[in-house]
Structure 1
Amino acid sequence: MTTIDDTAPDRAADDDRSTVRLEAAGGSPAAAVVDLSGLYAGRHWAARSTGRPFSYRYTAVGDADVTLRRSQISGSIRGLIPVSDDYVVQWLTAGNGIPDVVHDRVPMVDDVPMLFPTAREFVFAYEDYDQRLVHMSRRLVHEVADELFHTGPVPDLGIDHLRTLDPAAVTRWRNSLSLLSRELRVGGVESLLWHTLTRETAAAFLRMYPPTVTALPPAVLLPRRARLRAAVEHVHAHAAEPLTVADVAGAAGLSVRATQEAFQRHIGMTPLRYLQHVRLERVRQELLQADPTTVSVQAIARAWGFAHLGRFSAAYRNAYGEYPRNTLRR
């Protein structure tokens, strides 16, 4: 049995502060696969009994930006979860599980948060467990990341989902969730406090898992350089596309000459050199997340516009102190 309840269906489409409620429960492995895989657009899911009656229950409540969830299964379940628009932090209060049995193979430790992989698909396996999850929208997390770390409009924050967590950051995270849960019961998702607390929760998450992407240059953050910031943000947002200086200038409402001069004066490099710098960072992010058995340095470099592997490797080593092949093998 699965139910979905949006308690404010008449709100405008661009207002994300309507309540989202999800519930799925039952006693059949086949039903669990249908219900739960549907919540994650999952593929190749399978569930089975572990010697006692099989049962499952899954609940979620929140809004489009943050939902607090709980998943319980008496039995085992395994499946593939594709790349998601959500950042998902989860922890177990009972049972056992491995979020990624193909690449990471790192088992869960009770009550210790772990982030699902953020930029690739993964295959999980859990058994006889009680799991808590917090889903946060990419829009919210990236917006708060820009406020805290000046990351700009990037498609991925380069978060290391297996990083060792700072205990103080975990405590702040738990405190933020406690306040958020209380407000969910008292004021609901339409309150101003809920809106404030969801942003504080995203900030607490980013203190546990800080972005590793290159921040916007400090020189562009001054209010009087808003046009230069617009040009730099355009580079970050469209680094995977063919870009010319004219494209960057047009996005900022500047002439080509003014754009070139502003980049050189305040950033210390030309617009196209800065574009290469951003693309090099994107290559590094992909190398850190890629499977070295199926992906090559050359393929990733070419995808980001680097045709000459020798020159690319030299530039990469100058930037990061290691060759790209060493990054891929981590």
Structure 2
Amino acid sequence: MDSSECGGGMTIDTARTTNLQGVEDHAPGVRIEAAGSSPEAAVVNLAGLYAGRHWAARTTERRFSYRHTALGDGDLTLRRSRIDGFIRGSIPPSDEYIVQWLTAGRGIPDVAQDRVPMAGDVPMLFPTAREFVFEYEDYDQRIVHMSRRLVHEVADELFHTGDVPDLGLDHLRTLDAGAVTRWRNGLALLSHELQAGGVDTLLWHNLTRASAAAFLRMYPPTVSTLPPAVLLPGRDRLRAAVEYIHEHAAEPMGVSVIARAAGLSVRGVQETFQRNLGQTPMRYLQTVRLDRVRRELQQLNPTADAVGSVARRWGFAHVGRFSAAYKTAFGEYPHTTLRN
């Protein structure tokens, strides 16, 4: 039996979620079961699992049935979703990272914006940083949910991303075949441990972190990594200042705010930035903001005011000066990035 299928005890048109006891200081276990033969019940039960809106389901040439199962803990669950029928709905932004792939059927994860259909057995990351609208038909889907806490902790260990709100993962990235193989191998180990020991073992805890690492090899963060100088021993105050800048880059910020976050005087934070990074705190803030703008422009559809609105959102009040700084940093104007 597939471990993400969770097993029997199912009744028609029901949904059940169970919290199981986990390892001390680790996330509690989770078991989810939903199954039935009614399109209306599928909408109620499945939309509830994803805080979905405007869901609808209907029959196709097949007799309608659905089954959604999950097993894992609060940091990672292995899931399987099967529907003989058609289903569509909106899923709001979420802190979870969700990778899914089809072993049968058809599906488009985002019909409102990306419109990229699923390709066979190839994994695809849901764009959970924003709302998206999916459509699937007569499908068998495998899904892995990972918590933001788990993924961001591992990302900091691997890529020194710091405490950032967004890793900048490209959900439409062309995946490296070797990275996908390592991801699948890790999931196989997780599946085996679910059957052998469950979620209350140290091995499960270690395997979830290894799976998050494999996920980040498929979808590496594009957020600016922390400078190597910040990671050296004795640089705790500098790191606190840099991490504060990354986390609050979209907010109004002056040197005094950065100094306070690091527990330094204004002169002290200026000196430590200049000595270790060769630039002022405000110049470092500008670099981070420019990187955020570029990443956002690369993901947007071109519109008349896209550049201006994105620039203002990241703290650039004067669009002309922003464009000049952007050209210096990246060798092209922001409108060029947007069109490409």
Instruction: Indicate the TM-score class for this superposition, using the shorter chain for normalisation.
Output: over 0.9
- Cα separation, partners in 2 of 1:286 and 1:167, compared to 1, 3 Å: same
Aligned ranges 1:202-241 → 2 under 5 Å: 202-241=212-251
- Counterpart secondary structure, 1:223: coil
- Counterpart secondary structure, 1:72: strand
Residue 177 of structure 1 deviates from its aligned partner by: 0.4
Deviations 1:142-196 (A, max 9, x none): 1111110111111111111111111110110001101111111111112111111
Q: Does residue 1:322 correspond to 2:332, yes or no?
A: yes
Match of 1:126 among 133, 136, 155: 136
Q: Equivalent residue for 1:108?
A: 118
Residue type of the alignment partner of 2:57 = A
Match of 2:282 among 262, 272, 277: 272
Residue type of the alignment partner of 2:91 = I
Deviations 1:247-282 (A, max 9, x none): 222222222111101101111211111111111222
Residue 293 of structure 1 deviates from its aligned partner by: 4.5
Conservation of the 8 A alpha-carbon contact between 1:17 and 1:190: no
Conservation of the 8 A alpha-carbon contact between 2:65 and 2:84: yes
Conservation of the 8 A alpha-carbon contact between 1:290 and 1:328: yes
- Cα separation, partners in 2 of 1:50 and 1:190, compared to 1, 3 Å: same
Q: Equivalent residue for 1:70?
A: 80
Conservation of the 8 A alpha-carbon contact between 1:283 and 1:300: yes
Q: Does residue 1:7 correspond to 2:17, yes or no?
A: no
Deviations 1:80-119 (A, max 9, x none): 1111111111000000111111221111112111111142
- Cα separation, partners in 2 of 1:176 and 1:50, compared to 1, 3 Å: same
Conservation of the 8 A alpha-carbon contact between 1:83 and 1:120: yes
Quick one: distance in 2 between partners of 1:68 and 1:295? Answer: 41
Aligned ranges 1:290-301 → 2 under 5 Å: 290-293=300-303, 296-301=306-311
47-56 or 234-243: bigger deviation:
234-243
Runs of 5+ in structure 1 lacking a partner?
none
Deviations 1:221-245 (A, max 9, x none): 1012121111111111111222222
Residue 292 of structure 1 deviates from its aligned partner by: 3.0
- Cα separation, partners in 2 of 1:328 and 1:42, compared to 1, 3 Å: farther
Residue 44 of structure 1 deviates from its aligned partner by: 1.3
Runs of 5+ in structure 2 lacking a partner?
1-13
Residue 35 of structure 1 deviates from its aligned partner by: 1.0
Conservation of the 8 A alpha-carbon contact between 2:95 and 2:129: no
Q: Equivalent residue for 2:316?
A: 306
RMSD: 1.6
Quick one: distance in 2 between partners of 1:71 and 1:266? Answer: 51
Identity of aligned residues (%): 71
187-196 or 64-73: bigger deviation:
187-196
- Counterpart secondary structure, 1:224: coil
Conservation of the 8 A alpha-carbon contact between 1:69 and 1:132: yes
Match of 2:270 among 251, 260, 266: 260
How does the TM-score come out when normalised to structure 1?
0.95
Conservation of the 8 A alpha-carbon contact between 1:118 and 1:159: no
Q: Equivalent residue for 1:30?
A: 40
Residue type of the alignment partner of 1:177 = L
Quick one: distance in 1 between partners of 2:250 and 2:154? Answer: 23
Quick one: distance in 1 between partners of 2:305 and 2:214? Answer: 34
Q: Equivalent residue for 2:198?
A: 188
- Cα separation, partners in 2 of 1:295 and 1:86, compared to 1, 3 Å: farther
Residue 31 of structure 1 deviates from its aligned partner by: 0.9
Aligned ranges 1:74-89 → 2 under 5 Å: 74-89=84-99
254-263 or 289-298: bigger deviation:
289-298
Residue 286 of structure 1 deviates from its aligned partner by: 2.2
Residue 310 of structure 1 deviates from its aligned partner by: 1.4
Conservation of the 8 A alpha-carbon contact between 1:118 and 1:161: no
Quick one: distance in 2 between partners of 1:161 and 1:263? Answer: 34
- Counterpart secondary structure, 1:97: strand
Residue 294 of structure 1 deviates from its aligned partner by: 8.4
240-249 or 214-223: bigger deviation:
240-249
